[in-house]
Amino acid sequence: MKRGILFIACFLLTSTGSFAGRLEDTFDKLKSSETLKRRQAARALGSLQNKKAVSEIIFALKKEITDEVKIALIDSLGILKSTAATSLLIEKAKKETDAVRICAIIALGKITDTEIIPELKKLLKDKSPQIRCYAAGALRKQENKDGLKIIIEVLKTSPEAALSAIKNLSEFSEKKAAESLIPFLKNKDTLMRLHSVWALGKTGNKTAVHPLLELLKTEKNRGILLKTIEALGKIGGEEKIASSVYPFLSHEYKSIALEAVKTLSLLENESGISYLVAGAKDEKVSREIQRLCMTSARQRAGKRTREEVIKALLGDTRWTMSWSKEEADVLIKFTSDKNEIVRTMAYAGLAGINIEKYWEIIKRGLTDKSSNLRKAIVSKIGDFKFNQGAENLKEFFPREEQELKKTILETFYKCSLKNGLQMGLSDGDFYNQLTAANYLSILGDNSGYAAVVKGLGSEDEEIRELALETSLNMKDTRIIPHLKNLQKKVKDKTLKKDIKAIIKAIKNQ
């Protein structure tokens, strides 16, 4: 026990030391004369997510003269969200170049500190329209809406700062924010359209739905199309979204088709589920997207659409599904469906759940008129070695079709049910008799001896081959004379050698 405790302690010390070592190495790189190394170190300190780095970053930022390193240091302070950095970030938001000031304002928006809001409000009056926009966006993150009017004003009066205004309007869920962004969906500048779509999606305001749906009809840029579909998924609220997004499931670009699946699965009130089901059957949709449609439909289906999705899955033999016990009640309902495929898949799915209380229901399927359905159930009983189910098959074996009897015999064997296999020894089909004899021989029962002897004398090569295999499994010396007779009779040299080997194996047992 002591040794175990010592090992754990050593492991913790080693792990902590390793992390501390990485932190110290990064601190050292902040002092490098190379700008690139300092910038990489500054970014790394944020990604390490250790607030012990805050004091070192602050110290480095006070001394740093290069904008790109300052920005990396400020980004890391924003990630670490330490109030210890508030004063310095406020200072940088006032006195640096616009690029550094903007970065500092963004970082301030991430930190919760009562000192920040008054300072950001002062920046709403800055001479730079970009600074005003970013100050408003940062204020919104502090749960303050005072900057909305200022951003809208910048958007109307300062074309050079329009992109900054659009980015920061994304922080506001108000209708006015969405209404200010909508006109930019028709802007000739691709970047402006792209950011407007993204911003509208982030606002989540339903005012944007119809303009975005209109954009879907005319937009040619793939990146904007993708972002439009994504935005509609985030906003939701309109039944028409599903029907408008559906055609994009078959889009030539996979990324757009994938986004269409995601959006349809996100729509509230399960309004996208039926379209996902339709997409899974649509020949225009790629196989990969079809499969994803069905998976997403199943994952997202609630009370309203659950049966619809499960029935669609059961009715399509292309999909191999494993069902959960939570879905059993719906599967039971479809065991009475008029469609043979649906019934078959429902019974097979229920058997696949393999819970004993369902086997009485599954037993009903053995009386179904469909031999395919009965075979599906028999196969599942064998796969799960469900002996109670195999016992039930003894009742059905005598009156079953010859082809299905082979599957039942295999199930008897998998469940080691010798008295079931012995029923096969008296079957009207001799191949089934010999199959039963072979399975019995593997289980150490030589009661199929007579069938093997008869099989060795058959002119049918398939039956003779099975009889030879069974002879080897039986290892019954009584069968040696019959094997020698067959050896003399056959002309094929390879077969003669095989029979000789079987005789030798029986003798040497």
Task: Establish how many alpha carbons lie within 13 A of residue 276's alpha carbon, considering only the half-sphere containing its beta carbon.
Answer: 31
Phi-psi domain of 253 (left: phi exceeds 0; alpha: psi -120 through 50; beta: other): beta
Give yes or no for a contact between 328 and 353, defined as CB atoms under 8 angstroms apart.
yes
Share of the chain above pLDDT 90, in %: 75
pLDDT higher than 90, residue 61:
yes
Residues 6+ apart with CB under 8 A from 15: none
pLDDT in tens, 99-150: 999 999 999 999 988 899 999 999 999 999 999 999 999 999 998 999 999 9
Mean pLDDT value of segment 5-14: 34
What are residue 252's phi and psi, to 5 degrees? -65, -25
Nearest to 402 by CA among 433, 377, 439, 380: 433
pLDDT in tens, 396-451: 899 888 889 999 999 999 999 999 999 999 999 999 999 999 999 999 999 999 99
Q: What is the pTM of this model?
A: 0.74
- Alpha-carbon distance of 426 to 254, in angstroms, equals 59
Residues 6+ apart with CB under 8 A from 131: 98, 101, 102, 105, 123
DSSP string, 427-450: -SSHHHHHHHHHHHHHTT--TTHH
Give yes or no for a contact between 483 and 471, defined as CB atoms under 8 angstroms apart.
yes
- Alpha-carbon distance of 195 to 352, in angstroms, equals 49
Task: Output the average pLDDT for the chain.
Answer: 90
- Alpha-carbon distance of 70 to 95, in angstroms, equals 13
pLDDT higher than 70, residue 381:
yes
Give yes or no for a contact between 247 and 253, defined as CB atoms under 8 angstroms apart.
no
pLDDT in tens, 148-168: 999 999 999 999 999 999 999
- Alpha-carbon distance of 436 to 434, in angstroms, equals 5
Amino acid at 393: L
| Residue 297 pLDDT | 94
pLDDT in tens, 196-209: 999 999 999 999 99
How many other β-carbons are positioned within 10 Å of the β-carbon of residue 233? 21
pLDDT in tens, 234-265: 999 888 999 999 999 999 999 999 999 999 99
**Residue 462 has which token pair?**
């398939």
SS3 at position 268: helix
Instruction: Name the one residue in this structure whose structure tokens are 């196969």.
Output: 379
- Of 218 and 389, the structure prediction assigns the larger pLDDT to 218
| Residue 20 pLDDT | 53
Helices (H), 267-286: 273-281
Phi-psi domain of 285 (left: phi exceeds 0; alpha: psi -120 through 50; beta: other): beta
**Confidence label for 212 from pLDDT (cuts 50, 70 and 90):** very high
Phi-psi domain of 145 (left: phi exceeds 0; alpha: psi -120 through 50; beta: other): alpha
What are residue 507's phi and psi, to 5 degrees? -65, -35
Residues 6+ apart with CB under 8 A from 18: none
**Confidence label for 269 from pLDDT (cuts 50, 70 and 90):** confident
